[in-house]
């Protein structure tokens, strides 16, 4: 008896360069094929018996697959020559081209980095576009890259509605869900959508990514929505290749995890076989478009050529396993279909293969000769557009008087005609105004609707503007911010609320990595303007602990392009809100409005009953200038106190005491705009005053105060007597102990004493 031995693996197959091996495999497979070929089908005939795909469709999909493959092969070769700067490829995933074929170019798409086949196929939807050259320019980080202008290798296109993604896995799912919801909501609030009303949002991702919290929350939110019979036409496409970098997904895990989820409708499609998979993908797409329900398309793929060019799989996987994976290459199956159906001869396939290779290399060489980004100015150009005159004009535009009169219940009840009020009331009034001014504005978050927010700041808005514009979300900050991006993508003005600053942090990537980066990575072709309201900072009496008194805004300070405003009084808040909304509308900016909770109800400044912190409501044509500080006692020059938020009333009280103790005249500067800091203004005040105090209610490390002192020092005023009064590097404890960790009036006065003691 002879025992069956596995065929030995030929030496050629044991090479390190798996791209080269897959390349040769394809050619050998075609050359060695000796099956039966049917008579050539006509273009409208099914490519194989029983297939939903016709011959014309197959031929085009096959071409898209080959484009995607050769872009990968080209990248592997030219990376080592420094002509290409990205090698994460789509090889093994090319079947995702079917999803593109079966959807429209106006269905917004948020793509996995392996969705090259999808991209190549979507290019067919508009005449005159060149998938190879456009992609090559992105691979080469060329300034001419139509997607990102050379800032990253992204799948992106303005005309094709592919919004470029970062490579943080799963981070795009919440905004894809948000976009799906926005497609429906836009119509309901009478907002003209930039795409057809029956569009769906598409979002692709890997199997490992499907486990990520950010992905899971998007699935959950979609199901939560569908459960309530609300439409959420999002097509989640899980490109399941069974592995994430080097970690295998347990066999059948994706099916097991998603097949039976309530209100997330599961479809499977074989992405390795166009003839079989096409009808399966079609069923999923049609279901999503028709039912407007969240749909999970489990697309079988494989991963060949490793995670990226730097992943030498041969070092950590057995050669047998590697060869088995490579044998499942969907391009081999496509070649087989082309041959068996009689659609193409071996020579035709090989010629198409080489011709596509030639085009990819030629495009890459051409791209390499194009200019790259060579100046910092160029790099940053789309990051934070700012057109001051237009923003100012928009901020002070007050052509909605009739609507406000209705909203406030009559001319006599307009807020500017009322007695001075405190911060919470003015924010509430300003939000009413904002909603009159922008019919496309939406306010949403936790408890913001009927209850009017935990501090009643949004009270009355739900009643005045209705469910469709003011609504509670499910309890998830990531989704709140994902929704915001979706609404913005569809042309609305989202005003999401984060209930407490402490709860921003679990979701901050939605601002840091996603919203704030869209203009950058799309070369300002896509914008997701929004005004995120965040209640925060410390000093609350009788309510508290860390989570309601988080005083660290460091996480917001270094987000490129973000604008953070923090009003300390009601009139500033109203005018700041108008400016932030204008900045969002005019320049597409992502803005944060940090509301100091402890000042919401503050009425007095120096002593009980003085009403010193009440302000008049500014008429709707008044707005702040971005970056402009408020100066108290501008002629004083003995000492300047820089501060913001709660620090302002404290500093004003302390200034009075300091004037009495030291005989100084004290200037107090409310920075108001915390990101970016107005360094020129800080330098000017520091230059005009003899001594400098910085009052920062944030933490000792990495707080706003550090930025102020840096600006002072860099402007050459570092030698002046200077002191910082700042919170401690600790979490905030409960009850009265909270006041031990944050600055107080007395500490400011003591700091001035210390300055006075300096020569």
Ligand X SMILES: Cc1ncc(C[n+]2csc(CCOP(=O)(O)OP(=O)(O)O)c2C)c(N)n1
Q: For binding to ligand X (CB under 6 A), which residues are involved?
A: 114, 167-169, 205-209, 239, 241, 243-245, 303, 307
Q: Which residues pair with 190 in a beta bridge?
A: none
551 binds Mg ion (CB under 5 A): no
Q: Which listed option, Mg ion, ligand X, none, makes contact with residue 686 (CB within 5 to 8 Å by class)? A: none
Q: Which listed option, ligand X, Mg ion, none, makes contact with residue 169 (CB within 5 to 8 Å by class)? A: ligand X
Nearer of residues 171 and 540 to ligand X, judged by Cβ: 171
Q: Which listed option, Mg ion, ligand X, none, makes contact with residue 538 (CB within 5 to 8 Å by class)? A: none
Please tell me the distance from the alpha carbon of residue 139 to that of residue 220, in angstroms, as a whole number: 35
Please tell me the distance from the alpha carbon of residue 755 to that of residue 640, in angstroms, as a whole number: 12
Measured from the CB of residue 300, what is the shortest distance to Mg ion in angstroms? 11
State the distance between the two ends of the chain, measured CA to CA, in whole angstroms.
103
- DSSP run (H or E) holding 136: helix 131-139
Measured from the CB of residue 90, what is the shortest distance to Mg ion in angstroms? 12
Q: Which listed option, Mg ion, ligand X, none, makes contact with residue 259 (CB within 5 to 8 Å by class)? A: none
Q: Is 596 helix (H, G, I), strand (E, B) or coil?
A: strand
Nearer of residues 237 and 434 to Mg ion, judged by Cβ: 237
The single residue among 206, 486, 494, 620 that binds Mg ion, judged by CB under 5 A, is 206
Please tell me the distance from the alpha carbon of residue 256 to that of residue 374, in angstroms, as a whole number: 49
Nearer of residues 175 and 426 to ligand X, judged by Cβ: 175
The single residue among 145, 207, 270, 497 that binds Mg ion, judged by CB under 5 A, is 207
Measured from the CB of residue 244, what is the shortest distance to ligand X in angstroms? 3
Measured from the CB of residue 683, what is the shortest distance to Mg ion in angstroms? 52
Joined tokens for residue 721: 């007597």
- CA nearest neighbour of 323 among 24, 78, 102: 24
Q: Which listed option, ligand X, Mg ion, none, makes contact with residue 167 (CB within 5 to 8 Å by class)? A: ligand X
Measured from the CB of residue 139, what is the shortest distance to ligand X in angstroms? 18
Q: Quote the Cα angle for 472-474-476, to 5°.
A: 120
- The answer to whether 529 touches 590, Cβ cutoff 8 Å, is yes
Please tell me the distance from the alpha carbon of residue 163 to that of residue 15, in angstroms, as a whole number: 38
Q: Which listed option, Mg ion, ligand X, none, makes contact with residue 168 (CB within 5 to 8 Å by class)? A: ligand X
Nearer of residues 292 and 303 to ligand X, judged by Cβ: 303
Measured from the CB of residue 281, what is the shortest distance to ligand X in angstroms? 18
Taken in order 82, 84, 86, 90, is the CA torsion positive or negative?
negative
Task: State the pairing for strand pair 630-632/666-670.
Answer: antiparallel
Nearer of residues 243 and 461 to Mg ion, judged by Cβ: 243
The total of other beta-carbon atoms located within 10 Å of residue 417's CB is 13
Nearer of residues 241 and 732 to ligand X, judged by Cβ: 241
Contact region for Mg ion (CB under 5 A) — 242-250, 382-390, 445-453, 718-726?
A: 242-250
23 binds Mg ion (CB under 5 A): no
Measured from the CB of residue 296, what is the shortest distance to Mg ion in angstroms? 16
Helix, strand, coil: what percent of the chain each, to 5? Answer: 45, 15, 40
313 binds Mg ion (CB under 5 A): no
241 binds Mg ion (CB under 5 A): yes
Provide CB contacts within 8 A for 651, sequence distance 6+.
641, 643, 668, 693, 695, 748
Give residue number: closest CB to ligand X: 206
Nearer of residues 18 and 569 to Mg ion, judged by Cβ: 18
Nearer of residues 207 and 670 to Mg ion, judged by Cβ: 207
Joined tokens for residue 170: 């799963």
Taken in order 627, 632, 638, 643, is the CA torsion positive or negative?
negative
Nearer of residues 81 and 167 to ligand X, judged by Cβ: 167
Measured from the CB of residue 93, what is the shortest distance to ligand X in angstroms? 7
Please tell me the distance from the alpha carbon of residue 594 to that of residue 643, in angstroms, as a whole number: 14
Task: State the pairing for strand pair 722-726/530-536.
Answer: unpaired
Measured from the CB of residue 208, what is the shortest distance to ligand X in angstroms? 3
Q: Which listed option, ligand X, Mg ion, none, makes contact with residue 245 (CB within 5 to 8 Å by class)? A: ligand X
Three-class SS string for 180-191? HHHHHHHHHCCC
Measured from the CB of residue 255, what is the shortest distance to ligand X in angstroms? 15
Q: Which listed option, ligand X, Mg ion, none, makes contact with residue 209 (CB within 5 to 8 Å by class)? A: ligand X
Measured from the CB of residue 172, what is the shortest distance to Mg ion in angstroms? 16
Joined tokens for residue 563: 């604008």
- DSSP run (H or E) holding 367: helix 346-369
**What is the DSSP secondary structure assignment for residue 716, as one 8-state letter?**
I
Nearer of residues 241 and 549 to Mg ion, judged by Cβ: 241
Binding site for Mg ion (CB under 5 A): 206-208, 241, 243-244
């Amino acid at each position: 008896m002879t025992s069956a031995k596995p065929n030995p693996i030929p030496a050629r197959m044991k090479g390190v360069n798996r791209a080269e091996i897959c390349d040769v495999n394809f050619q050998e497979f075609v050359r060695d094929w000796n099956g039966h070929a049917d008579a050539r089908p006509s273009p409208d005939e099914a490519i194989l018996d029983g297939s939903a795909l016709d011959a014309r469709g197959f031929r085009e999909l096959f071409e898209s697959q080959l484009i995607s493959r050769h872009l990968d092969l080209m990248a592997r070769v030219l990376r080592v020559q420094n002509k290409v700067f990205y090698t994460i490829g789509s090889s093994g995933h090319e079947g995702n081209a079917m999803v593109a074929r079966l959807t429209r170019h106006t269905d917004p798409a948020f793509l996995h980095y392996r969705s090259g086949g999808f991209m190549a196929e979507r290019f067919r939807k508009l005449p005159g576009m060149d998938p190879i050259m456009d992609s090559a320019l992105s691979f080469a980080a060329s300034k001419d890259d139509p997607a990102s202008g050379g800032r990253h290798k992204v799948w992106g296109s303005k005309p094709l509605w592919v919004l470029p993604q970062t490579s943080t896995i799963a981070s795009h799912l919440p905004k894809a869900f948000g976009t799906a919801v926005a497609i429906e909501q836009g119509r309901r609030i009478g907002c003209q959508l930039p795409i057809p009303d029956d569009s769906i949002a598409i979002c692709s991702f890997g199997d490992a990514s499907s486990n990520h919290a950010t992905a899971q929350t998007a699935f959950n939110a979609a199901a939560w929505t569908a459960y309530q019979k609300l439409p959420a036409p999002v097509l989640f496409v899980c490109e399941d290749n069974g592995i994430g970098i080097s970690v295998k997904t347990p066999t059948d895990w994706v099916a097991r995890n998603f097949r039976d989820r309530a209100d997330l409708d599961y479809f499977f499609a074989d992405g390795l076989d166009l003839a079989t998979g096409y009808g399966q993908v079609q069923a999923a797409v049609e279901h999503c478009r028709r039912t407007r329900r969240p749909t999970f398309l489990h697309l079988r793929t494989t991963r060949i050529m490793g995670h990226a060019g730097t992943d030498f799989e041969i070092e950590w996987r057995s050669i047998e396993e590697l060869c088995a994976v490579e044998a499942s290459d969907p391009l081999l199956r496509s070649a087989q279909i082309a041959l068996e159906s009689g659609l193409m001869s071996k020579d035709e396939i090989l010629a198409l293969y080489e011709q596509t290779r030639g085009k990819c290399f030629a495009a890459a060489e051409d791209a390499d000769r194009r200019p790259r980004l060579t100046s910092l100015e160029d790099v940053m150009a789309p990051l934070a557009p700012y057109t001051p005159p237009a923003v100012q004009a928009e901020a002070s535009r007050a052509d909605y008087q009739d609507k406000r009169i209705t909203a406030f219940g009559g001319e006599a009840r307009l807020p500017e005609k009322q007695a001075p009020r405190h911060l919470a009331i003015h924010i509430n009034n300003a939000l009413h105004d904002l909603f009159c001014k922008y019919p496309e504005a939406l306010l949403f978050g936790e408890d913001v609707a009927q209850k009017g927010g935990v501090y009643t700041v949004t009270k009355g808005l739900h009643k005045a503007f209705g469910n469709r514009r003011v609504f509670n979300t499910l309890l998830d900050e990531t989704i709140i911010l994902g929704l915001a991006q979706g609404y913005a993508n569809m042309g609305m003005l989202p005003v999401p609320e984060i209930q407490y600053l402490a709860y921003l942090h679990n979701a901050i990537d939605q601002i840091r990595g996603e919203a704030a980066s869209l203009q950058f990575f799309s070369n300002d072709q896509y914008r997701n303007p929004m005004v995120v309201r965040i209640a925060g900072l410390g000093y609350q009496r009788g309510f508290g602990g860390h989570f309601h008194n988080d005083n660290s805004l460091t996480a917001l300070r270094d987000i490129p392009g973000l604008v953070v405003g923090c009003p300390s009084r009601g009139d500033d808040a109203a005018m700041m809100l108008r400016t932030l909304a204008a900045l969002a509308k005019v320049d597409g900016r992502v803005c944060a409005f940090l509301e100091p909770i402890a000042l919401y109800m503050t009425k007095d400044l120096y002593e009980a009953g003085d009403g010193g912190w009440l302000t008049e409501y500014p008429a709707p044509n008044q707005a702040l200038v971005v970056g402009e500080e408020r100066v108290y006692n501008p002629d004083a020059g003995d000492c300047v106190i820089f501060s913001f938020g709660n620090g302002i009333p404290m500093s004003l009280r302390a200034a009075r005491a300091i004037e009495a103790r030291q005989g100084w005249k004290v200037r107090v500067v409310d920075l108001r705009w915390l990101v970016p800091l107005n360094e020129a203004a800080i330098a000017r005040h520091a230059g005009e005053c003899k001594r400098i105090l910085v009052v920062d209610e944030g933490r000792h490390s990495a707080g706003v105060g550090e930025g102020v002192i840096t600006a002072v020092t860099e402007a050459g005023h570092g030698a002046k007597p200077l002191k910082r009064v700042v919170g401690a590097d600790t979490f905030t404890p409960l009850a009265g102990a909270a006041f031990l960790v944050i600055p107080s009036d007395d500490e400011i006065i003591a700091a001035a004493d210390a300055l006075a003691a300096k020569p």
